[in-house]
Chains A and B, each alone.
Chain A
Amino acid sequence: MWIYEKKLQYPVRVSECNPRLAKYLIEQYGGADGELAAALRYLNQRYTIPDKVIGLLTDIGTEEFAHLEMIATMIYKLTKDATPEMLKAAGIEDHYVNHDNALFYQNASGVPFTASYIQAKGDPITDLYEDIAAEEKARATYQWIIDMSDDPDLNDGLRFLREREIVHSQRFREAVEMLKEERDRKKIF
């Protein structure tokens, strides 16, 4: 069960109406390495992972939904009240004819989200290595979006999200270390 706090994890500011940036950001919304894929991946894998790392997957999976909400807010603000002409100029008229200004789970090229973006192999090391890779891929994607963006307020939020990928990657790496640990030769902290 979840408790919902009606606020964003980090404030989302957008300087100007810019549908083209929304087109890039949708990669982190419904793309292979996006926040939806991350949340669903972790919250699903946690059932079949050793007890001591279940909580980590729950925590990070939950936070990914908070990130998804931030990305949604960014996309919404970037396209809110944009006219069909503006969407056309930004190259997202194909989105408009299908969805109006609504958000949809798809990547920057318009490919709809699919469960095959995520995996649950049941082997704990395999799953955690996938999770580490997913965090690094999301970190890289944020870098390339920041490179394409000229909106300083938006980039501030994206930098925060990229920083969280770094921390999550660290925690997944620690989870691997916990599972590697030899019984009765416990490291003393």
Chain B
Amino acid sequence: MKNFTLRKTYHPYISPFDPCPPVREKTYYTPAQLYLGYQPQNLEQFSPKEALKAGTLWKVFYDPYYGPNEKRRGPYE
């Protein structure tokens, strides 16, 4: 169903004189709402209980964000 990705990366120019250690790959977020237009019918749903936890009824919009020091957990945890 999903024919898009939620993350994109690019590789900025690194100067030999940059004072901070370079981050060679930068990431940015391209969430589902950029691609869907009107929400199509009959998309996959969470169960009501899962949805209350996930913050959305619709699996296509579920995109949990984790910090750099966090372990990614299960899909609805």
Contact = CB atoms under 8 A, between A and B. Distances in A.
Do chains A and B stick together as partners?
A: yes
Interface of A: 10, 139-140, 142-143, 146-150, 152, 155, 159-164, 166-167, 169-170, 173-174, 177, 187, 189
A163 B29 contact: no
Given A143-B65, A146-B65, A163 B32 contact: no
B38 A174 contact: yes
Contacts of B65: 142-143, 146, 159, 162
Given A139-B29, A159-B64, A177-B37, 8 more contacts: A142-B65, A143-B29, A143-B65, A146-B67, A160-B55, A163-B55, A163-B64, A166-B56
A159 B55 contact: yes
A163 B56 contact: yes
A163 B67 contact: no
17 contacts: A139-B29, A143-B29, A146-B70, A147-B67, A155-B66, A159-B64, A162-B65, A163-B56, A164-B55, A166-B33, A167-B55, A173-B33, A173-B36, A173-B37, A177-B37, A177-B38, A189-B41
Chain B's interface: helix, strand, loop or mixed, by majority? loop
Nearest to A170: B33
Interface residues of B, number: 25
Contacts of B67: 146-150, 155
A164 B65 CA distance: 12
